[in-house]
Structure formats: structure tokens, C-alpha cells
Amino acid sequence: MLIKNRPGWEMPESQATPESVFLNRRSFMAGGAGLIAGSTLPQVAAAQGADPTLDLYPAKKNAAYTLDRPVTEEDLAANYNNFYEFGTSKDVAAASKKLVSRPWTVTIDGMVEKPLEIGFDDLVRKLPLEERLYRFRCVEAWSMAVPWTGIPLKAFVAFAKPLSGAKYIRFETFLNPRMASGQSQRWYPWPYTEGLTIAEATNELPLLVTGIYGKPIPAQHGAPLRLITPWKYGFKSVKSITKISFVAERPKTFWEGLQASEYGFWANVNPEVPHPRWSQASEQVLGTRDRKPTLLFNGYGEQVAGLYKGLESERLYM
């Protein structure tokens, strides 16, 4: 339920990144700096086989984004995933270790001033990073609450400089069936693709996520770069992005390609619009016995409801 005078997504500050994560970062910095004098932190990290972006974590918390429920335990979130490239069960954490996330090139193309191919480690240092607590609601009617670290998508769009004809952004995951055996299953329309309108993308909420729980994002959550759109069902949050294209036409998405009658382009959370095969009225909160009522736009209506004025004839909630 919404608490008076507090937005629906608020939670106590005490639920933020654990101190141990912060302290680990400090000890890494101290140890690394002593190991190779004169090296930059990313160089030290690479020499140690660690993630070259480790020095960026934990990122500054954006205190405006708080919740109404405890943060889901890290282990739980890390072992209950959807990543069809590595299998269709929730137990894909081990299989997804096959994901080779370095080197990782991101292509920015389509209707932009200057199409670009850029290494992920360069990209992440060109743009602002922050940590936000968000609720996350899967279309399968389970939910969690997670501290994501990421680049506000709005800042990325400004960096990409789209041309005026660009109306949508299309996101694409890698395609490599030898690395990701799920992609050998030809009945899926690989690669995984998703899309947003430019208006949605430049709203304050969407994040291009690079980290979780105060650390670089692990494989099973979509390393090294994924989308998070907290007011939409989780399938919109495409993982392991290699290509971001600015386009004039609405892109066809992975799930639309598979089953358009059940999974559409908009996929905004709405408890009153059931999935054709189950209710969306409530959600199972991971790690608890709680079944909570689902909120319109997952509780983020204040930020996003205005985006859909005039679009009422669209299937906005599927």
C-alpha cells in the first residue's frame, strides 16, 4: 500500500549497499595500488584478472529512489534468473558463466549524428553512474527489490545524439550459439531484442545497468550492460547488450516474435490487465511468504503515466 506523504517506491536508507561491499572496494584499492606502482586502477584490476571497472563501485547512491520493502537478498536474486540464452530454467547462474564479457564492444548506430563502436570499459567511464533502489516485477508474477548501478538512459541518449527522425531505440543482445547454447534452439527469434520510444528512454527512470549490489553486474544478471525499466514487466530489461540502434519504426521485440498475443511492445505493469493465462493482480515477493498487491506501473506512475496520454488505443499493459 502507498504510505501517505511518501512515494510508493520508498524504503529505509538502511536497506542500501552493505558496508562490507564498500570495505572490500577499499581493500582492493589499497592492495592494487601497492602491487603495480604507477598503474591506473583499471590496469591493476586487469592484471589481477578482476573486473576492470571495479574501481567505479559502489557508485554514488541517488537518494531519491527508495522503496517500501526490504531489498532482496543478493544470493537469492543471483540464483533465480531468466536468461534464455543459457537455459530456460531459473537456475542459469552456473551455465551463464560461459558468457565472455570482455572485450565487449557496444555498437551505437542508426539515426545518430555519428555511429560509433565503443568498448564497454571506455563507454562506462564517459557517462555518469549512480545507484538506485528499484522494484522489479516479472510478467510471471514474482518480484524483487534491487540496488542497481547504471547510467541514466537519458544521459546515454544525449551522448548518442539521435537525429530528429529517430522515434524508437532498439536494443540487441549478443548472438553466439557456441557460447550460449540456448541460441542453438532455432524456434526462438535470436538475438534477444527490445525497444523503447525515445520519450520513454528519456524519462528519468530507465537505467543502462552495469552493476548490482554495489559491484559490477555478474553474468547471470546480464553482464556487462543491460537495461532496467522498473515500470515495465521484466522481459523488457534486455541483458548483455551489444547494439543500441536509433530507428524511425517501432522495433519488433524478442517476445513479440515468439508470442505477440501474450507479450507486446509496451508491457507496462498493470494489476487490472491479466496475462491471457494468469492474473497480474498480485506478486510473489522473492525470499518472503508475502503476496503483495501489484501496483499500476509497478508504483512508478508519478514518473511515467504521462508518457501514455493519447496512446489509450494501444495495448499498453501487455
- Residues in contact with ligand MTE by the rule CB under 6 A: 81-85, 138, 173, 192, 221-222, 234-235, 237-240
118 secondary structure, DSSP code: E
The smaller minimum CB distance to ligand MTE, of residues 25 and 239, is found at 239
- In whole angstroms, what is the distance from residue 18 CA to residue 36 CA? 29
State how far the alpha carbon of 128 is from the alpha carbons of 40, 56, 58, 91, 231, in Å.
19, 10, 13, 33, 22
Least Å from the CB of residue 11 to ligand MTE: 18
CB of 240 to ligand MTE, least distance (A): 6
Distances (CA, A) of 154 to 128, 161, 210: 11, 11, 15
Closest to ligand MTE by CB, 192 or 297: 192
Least distance between ligand MTE and beta carbon 191 (Å): 8
Between CA 129 and CA 150 the distance in angstroms is 5
**Which distant-in-sequence residues (6+ apart) come within 8 Å of 191 by Cβ?**
172, 173, 174, 175, 183, 254
Q: Tell me how far, at minimum, the Cβ of 212 lies from ligand MTE, in Å.
A: 8
Cα–Cα distance, 210 to 304 (Å, whole number): 23
- Residue 131 beta carbon to ligand MTE: minimum distance, rounded to whole angstroms: 16
Query: What's the closest the beta carbon of residue 36 comes to ligand MTE, in angstroms?
Result: 34
- The residue type found at 230 is P
Cα-Cα-Cα-Cα dihedral sign, residues 65, 68, 71, 77: negative
Nearer to ligand MTE (CB atom), residue 32 or residue 220: 220
Q: Which residue is nearest to ligand MTE (CB)?
A: 234
Quick one: 45 or 236, whose CB is closer to ligand MTE? 236
Please, which residue, 139 or 295, has the CB nearer to ligand MTE? 139
Compute the least distance from the CB of residue 217 to ligand MTE, in Å.
Answer: 8
Q: Which is nearer to ligand MTE, 54 or 99 (CB)?
A: 99
Taking the complex as a whole, how short is the minimal distance between the CB of residue 298 and ligand MTE, in angstroms? 13
Cell readout for 119 is 568498448
Beta bridge pairs of residue 183: none
Distance CA 129, CA 113 (A): 24
Pairing of strands 116-119, 105-110: antiparallel
Nearest to 53 by CA among 163, 189, 138, 149: 149
